[in-house]
Structure 1
């Protein structure tokens, strides 16, 4: 898509650092240079103000990645593109069946109502919960990792969605301040929310998390 739009050598493309390295690699493969912008802490997608701050004379495009089933603020980002004459590309997540989305939303609502001690995701703007991502409050990565080990020990599968932001990886290392990206990488944990989960399995998730949640700061909101 970048090559087809004429983006190449000498150009810069604004991309998120919170996520997979493939986006930055695609920019580099087109001959352009990736420039990293910070995320919105609610959606985990590119933040419009940070994108605008990252623009320069060589910026040709912005690549927006929707995260975890929560869409980015596309009206704001398209407005930025129009104002600055930039190409705005979207990396959409895989579409899935309506019934599956409905069941995930049902399970997410159950977790929203029952979980204590973790910060549950914001469910606004058509969230499809391709991943149910919570934040583990406390001392960042050490507490998040200890929490993950503990609930795995209680039979709950979970995963760290972004272990290392792209701007910290070899080959793309940048001296750039992305505080929300780094905070999210240190605090986030994806809990199971698959449509196939039974009520008993959902109860096990809640029991495992809440047993530990009392040792952490209270959930916000």
Structure 2
């Protein structure tokens, strides 16, 4: 996609650091330089304002990633692209049959209505819930990880969606300030909403999370 767009040696491409190392790798493969910009804390996609701040005369393109099935703010990213003469490319994470998406949305709505003590995802139009990602309150990664262990001990599967942001990985380390990216990596947890889950499974998940949620408070 990058080669077809004419991106190559000497160009810079603005990409997110919140996961998707394969995008940074693709940029380097065509000889360009990945430049990391911060994310929007609601969409988990690139922040249009952060993209604008990251641009230089060598900027050639922006890769907008639709994370967890939640659409990025493509309209505003395209506005930035048009203003600065940049290509805006899209990357979607996974796809599923319409029936599976409908069932995931049903399970997401169930959790939205019942979870307390964790911040539930923004249910924007078009969200396909490739992952149902909540934020665990408290003091960042230590409390999120403790919450995850406790939930698993109650028989509920969960996963950390982004363990290490790309700008912290060997080969891509950058001295750049990405506070929302760092915060999301420390606080997010993905709960299952796949079609095989029964209503009893969903009730057990909500009960397990609610027994813990709200107990973790930010340090004063």
Please classify the TM superposition score into its range, dividing by the shorter chain length. over 0.9
Aligned to 1:9: 9
Aligned to 1:151: 151
Give the whole-Å Cα distance in 2 for the aligned partners of 1:38 and 1:202.
33
Aligned to 1:90: 90
Q: Please report how far the alpha carbon of residue 214 of structure 1 lies from its aligned counterpart in structure 2 after TM superposition.
A: 3.7
Aligned to 2:163: 163
Give the whole-Å Cα distance in 1 for the aligned partners of 2:138 and 2:91.
32
Aligned to 1:25: 25
Aligned residues: 218
Q: Does the CA contact (< 8 Å) of 2:13 and 2:61 recur in 1?
A: yes
Q: Please report how far the alpha carbon of residue 155 of structure 1 lies from its aligned counterpart in structure 2 after TM superposition.
A: 0.6
Q: Please report how far the alpha carbon of residue 41 of structure 1 lies from its aligned counterpart in structure 2 after TM superposition.
A: 0.2
Q: Does the CA contact (< 8 Å) of 1:117 and 1:217 recur in 2?
A: no
Q: Please report how far the alpha carbon of residue 93 of structure 1 lies from its aligned counterpart in structure 2 after TM superposition.
A: 2.5
- Unaligned 5+ runs, structure 2: none
Aligned to 2:48: 48
RMSD, aligned α-carbons: 1.1
Q: Please report how far the alpha carbon of residue 171 of structure 1 lies from its aligned counterpart in structure 2 after TM superposition.
A: 0.5
Aligned to 2:210: 210
| Secondary structure of the structure 1 residue equivalent to 2:68 | coil
Stretches of 4+ aligned residues off by more than 2 angstroms: none
Give the whole-Å Cα distance in 2 for the aligned partners of 1:201 and 1:8.
49
Q: Does the CA contact (< 8 Å) of 2:139 and 2:217 recur in 1?
A: no
Aligned to 1:62: 62
- Unaligned 5+ runs, structure 1: none
Q: Report the TM-score when normalising by structure 1.
A: 0.96
Per-residue CA distance 1:53-83 (angstroms, 9 max, x = gap): 0000000000111000100011111111111
Q: Report the TM-score when normalising by structure 2.
A: 0.97
Q: Does the CA contact (< 8 Å) of 2:94 and 2:130 recur in 1?
A: no
Per-residue CA distance 1:17-66 (angstroms, 9 max, x = gap): 00121000000000000000000000100000000000000000001110
